[in-house]
Amino acid sequence: MTDEIEVIGEVIESSTTEFVAESKELHSPAPFGSFVKVGMGEVAPATGGQQPNMDDPFDSFRQSAGTFNSTYRDEAGETTAPAIYAIIYGANTGPVDTGRKLRAYWKGETELEVVNPEIGEWLLVTNFRALVVGYCANNSVCRFLPPQPPKLLTPVYPCSPAEVRRLTDRMDFLRTIVNFTGAPVEELLAACIRNAMAQYPEDRRNDFVVSAGKELAALLRDDYDRLHAIIRRIAP
């Protein structure tokens, strides 16, 4: 089975531990705490022979970058394309020209879209930030930092359920988050565990949450209150 996954952004700032991407959709960045990936090294070749659709600015990009195929299925053990995995820890929307301060327009949302479409299309931009938690190379998942940061201007995709499951069948990513200081860590942990849980079949969700919780309990052994706060945010 081959899933074609929609690109959701493009890397515009990159470092070893985290990166910033511009969201493809204004106001709809990848959800907080969700798992994303950035291609790494060799990428599948461009889908043969099609002309880029010039009306769609992203089409040419997609054609040149190639479609990012997620072919990994945990059950069958098929190959996974090399990629850097990261967790979304924040997003913001603001004017493209950071030197220019945005003013209120005093128009309703619908009217604004009709009268001033350029605001949505050219003046504003949504970015999201992601924390690198691991990568996959040679079909094995490494739950530590990749040797190189993500390349600039490469596309960002959501991880497939299979990839999320494979990445989270060990809980090392939780430690990365716990040690991170640039985000509301408790919220992030809870959101991230909820997101991962949703990728598991119904009957395995509880086991997953409990083992994630146990890992947290070990990580936060000196801080029962914090553990409690996180668990409360996970429990439905």
Partner 1 sequence: MSQEYPGPTERRREIGQIVSGSLTEGLQMKLCPEESVEDVRAGKFVVVDGQKNEFFSMITDVVLSTSAKGLIGNPPARDDELMRSVLSGTTTYGTVALRPNLMLPKDSADDGEPDLRPVKTIPGHFSAVYSADARDVNRIFGDETKDSKYFNIGTPLDMDDIPVCLNLERFVERSNGIFGKSGTGKTFLTRIVLCGIIKNQRAVNLIFDMHSEYGWKGSYEGDRAEVRGLKQYFREKVAVFTLDPESSRRREAPVDFAVKIPYSQITAEDIILLQNELNLTSTALETSYALVNRFRDGGWISGLLRMDADDMKDFCDTNNVNQAALAALQRKIRVLAESCKSFLVDDGAGGAEDDAVKKIMSYLEAGNHVVLEFGQHTQPLRYMLVANILTRRIHENYVRKKEESLGGKGGEPRPLVITIEEAHKFLSPSLANQTIFGTIAREMRKYNVTLLVVDQRPSGIDGEILSQVGTKITCLLNDDKDIDAVLTGVSNASGLRGIMASLDSKQQALILGHAVPMPIVVKTRHYDDEAFRGSMMESKRSDDEIRKDMDSDFA
Smallest distance from partner 1 to CB 141, Å = 23
Residues 6+ apart with CB under 8 A from 46: 63, 64, 65, 66
Q: In the chain, where does DSSP find H-type helix? A: 57-65, 109-115, 117-118, 161-168, 172-178, 185-198, 202-219, 224-234
Packed helices 202-219 and 185-198: angle between N→C axes, nearest 10 degrees: 150
179: helix, strand or coil: coil
Both tokens assigned to 65: 């970058």
Both tokens assigned to 171: 């809980």
Both tokens assigned to 223: 């801080």
Q: Which residues bind to partner 1, rule: CB under 8 A?
A: 209-210, 213-214, 216-218, 221-225, 227-228, 231-232, 234-235
Smallest distance from partner 1 to CB 230, Å = 10
Query: Contact 25/126 with Cβ under 8 angstroms?
Result: yes
Smallest distance from partner 1 to CB 215, Å = 8
Q: Based on CB atoms, which residue is closest to partner 1, 143 or 233?
A: 233
Smallest distance from partner 1 to CB 220, Å = 9
Q: Based on CB atoms, which residue is closest to partner 1, 59 or 172?
A: 172
Q: Based on CB atoms, which residue is closest to partner 1, 96 or 235?
A: 235
Distance CA 86, CA 66 (A): 21
Smallest distance from partner 1 to CB 15, Å = 33
Q: Based on CB atoms, which residue is closest to partner 1, 132 or 230?
A: 230
Smallest distance from partner 1 to CB 219, Å = 10
Q: Based on CB atoms, which residue is closest to partner 1, 101 or 221?
A: 221
Q: Based on CB atoms, which residue is closest to partner 1, 115 or 235?
A: 235
